[in-house]
Amino acid sequence: MKDIAIFGAGGFGREIACLINRINGKQEGTWNLIGFFDDDENLKDAWNEYGKVLGGMDSLNQWEKPLNLVIAIGNPAILEKLVGKIQNPNISFPNLIDPNVEFMDREHVEMGKGNVICMRSTISTNVKFGNFNLLNVAVGVGHDASLGDFNVVMPNVNISGGVTIGSANLFGVKSTVLQYLKVGDRVKIGASALLMRNAKSDNLYFGIPAEKK
């Protein structure tokens, strides 16, 4: 078994612990969850139902043994900032994929490191993921779509075929991106929004159809 820890001991961190347990249930002996890291001083030495908070970023950067790490932070800007602070060469970033994620053709999906894909998600063919993308429950990604880095995709989002997504974007619950559109960087798309035109970087889009706010 490989040691693994979670950065972020909040609700999403506990969900990631559940994901690790689900993976171990299908592939026994894959991961040994040793606990959590979190910079919240109120959580120092705290326990939850899945393990202990072992320390913050300083403790992580001083960790002396090989350790796999998942970052459970649902804010793209904070996610990117935290990754930049991790300087420990002992730390690796595996891709965590729920056992019931459906790939139409796993062989033709490219994936970097540190990606998380949660249960009931569906990934089509010729899809490209960069690094540290977080796909929550029941996300659909269509054929020939590509995602950069640090994108956070909330539950029940639909990304249609041929969509090109940059980095550090946030997709709200049940939002939809129509086919072959482009989403820049640091875009926020509101819950249930229907994006029908390209989304420019550093903007917010809400509504049906989604309009820039």
117-139 confidence digits (pLDDT tens): 999 999 999 999 999 999 999 99
Q: What is the pTM of this model?
A: 0.95
176-198 confidence digits (pLDDT tens): 999 999 999 999 999 999 999 99
CA angle, 65 as apex, 62 and 69 as ends, to 5°?
A: 80
Amino acid letter for position 21:
N
Q: Which of 128, 143, 174, 186 is catalytic?
A: 143
Order of all β-strands in the sheet with 140-141? 102-103, 122-123, 140-141, 158-159, 176-177, 194-195
Average pLDDT over residues 30-40: 96
Binding residue positions: 74
Concerning whether 108 is annotated as a catalytic residue, the answer is no
Q: What is the mean pLDDT of the chain?
A: 97
Domain range annotation of the chain: 2-94, 97-207
Per-residue pLDDT, 39: 94
Q: State which CATH number among 3.40.50.2300, 2.40.50.140, 2.160.10.10, 3.40.605.10 fits the domain covering 97-207.
A: 2.160.10.10
Binding residue positions for substrate: 74
SS3 82: helix
> Does the domain at residues 2-94 carry the CATH identifier 3.30.365.10?
no
